[in-house]
Structures are given as C-alpha cells and as structure tokens.
Amino acid sequence: ELVTNDRIIGGMTPEAAARGKAVYATFCEGELLVTDDVTAEMAKLTENSFRDVNIAFANELSLISDKLGIDVWELIELANHHPRVNILQPGPGVGGHCIAVDPWFIVSSDRENSNLIRTAREVNDGKPKWVIGQVREALAGRQRPVVAALGLAFKANIDDLRESPALNITRDLAEALPGASVLAVEPNVSELPKALAGLVNVELAETADAIERADVVLVLVDHDEFKSVAATALVGKAVVDTKGLWR
C-alpha cells in the first residue's frame, strides 16, 4: 500500500510540500496530493473518523435489533440492497491503533462542533460492556462456568492486539467472573498476552478444545479458523456471536 495508495503530502511551507512530493515520486505509484500540513493531518484523522462513525451506526443497530428481537445481520443485508445504502457490519467494539484513537484528536480540537464524532466513539467504546452483559445473561444459574472467548486480535486473521476490544472483553470477563474459567483462543499467538497472563482463571486454548469444554462460546473475532467450526460442536452450548459468524 505504501507504493500503490494515493498519498496526501502536507508541507509546513510550499517548498517543503514540493520536496516531500519529490521524495514520494521516487517510489509511489499512486496519486500524490499536495496540501498544507494541518489539512493533511486532518485528512488522516477524517478517514479514520469516517470509518468509526459508520461502524458505530452498525453497532447501534445491533443494540436496537437485540431489543426488538431482530437478526441485525439479516437487517443490514436487506437494507444494503438499496443502491445508495452500504451499512458496515457490527462487532464487539472498535480496535487498532488508528480508528479507535484518531477521532478523539478531532474532538479535542473542537469539542463544540464534534458531537457526531464524539457520540460514535462513545457508542463503539460502550459496545464491549454490552457484550459482557450478554455473556452474563448466558451464564445465569451456571455453577463454575466455562467461557470460550474466540479471538483476541483487533480484527480477523492478524496477531495485532493493539486497542483490541476482544482482548479487553476477555480480560474484563475474567476479572468480573472470578468463579468462571475463561479459555482464550487466538490462533495467531503462541502465548497469553500480558493483559491476561496474570489472571489465574484464564488459559490459552485451542479452538476445538475450548469449544468442547465451554458452557458459553463467545465469538469476538471472525478468524478463518472459526468459520469452519461444525454446528454439531455447538449443540447444548450458549453462543454469543458478536460477528454474525455462525448465522
């Protein structure tokens, strides 16, 4: 992407912008777009805030759909048949070192006029608490339950745990339910991350083993490895699927 994507080049002076463009021109095949430094920085923050706002819309729909007894993935699928509608998919929150962070820079620079961006951040930051509430409901009445938390990364098929809602949910569940065993499943790591390593009721487990032992199966990341889980493996278990993986 460093080579193929268009690049916004912001210079503190026109000469600085021109020199920056000349450097990028030596290797970048995308369009080189020159502007001032503040606009360039704002453009980057805007890209990630746009994503965050759209994800928040999907996450808010998932909360409303749960209250109304609607399958949110079917709802979005139907709405997206409109030629000018393209709703994203809901999830357990928003992670990564960009989308979950950058909108706050805009909010902090102009709190008065950034209400939509701030609200989107609050919706996405609040989704993990809702997920934990769903798991608590599924565990009601069970003695010393076992929860299989599938996925720790902030998105599918990577090992990046930065600002990951899946990791935070797994940690918060273990801390809130000391009598429960939490089986953390992350195919892309070989050991428990530091955020979980000190918790006595958490262990790193393989997918099949975790599901077999679990009372509640919590899907937090749609890794390819989880898509092939047979429906028969889930019989008799409560499932909280935040990604619509097993519709």
What tens digit of pLDDT does each residue of 13-40 get? Answer: 999 999 999 999 999 999 999 999 999 9
Distance CA 64, CA 209 (A): 34
Residues labelled as active-site residues: 44, 98
pLDDT digits (tens, 9 = 90+) for 86-134: 999 999 999 988 999 999 999 999 999 999 999 999 999 999 999 999 9
What is the dihedral angle through the alpha carbons of 204, 147, 229, 69, rounded to the nearest 10 degrees?
-150
Distance CA 208, CA 123 (A): 33
Sequence ranges of the domains in the chain: 127-241
Q: Which top CATH class is 127-241?
A: alpha beta
- Cβ atoms of 124 and 55 closer than 8 Å: yes
* Residue 234 DSSP one-character state: G
Phi-psi region of 147 (alpha: psi -120 to 50; beta: other; left: phi over 0): beta
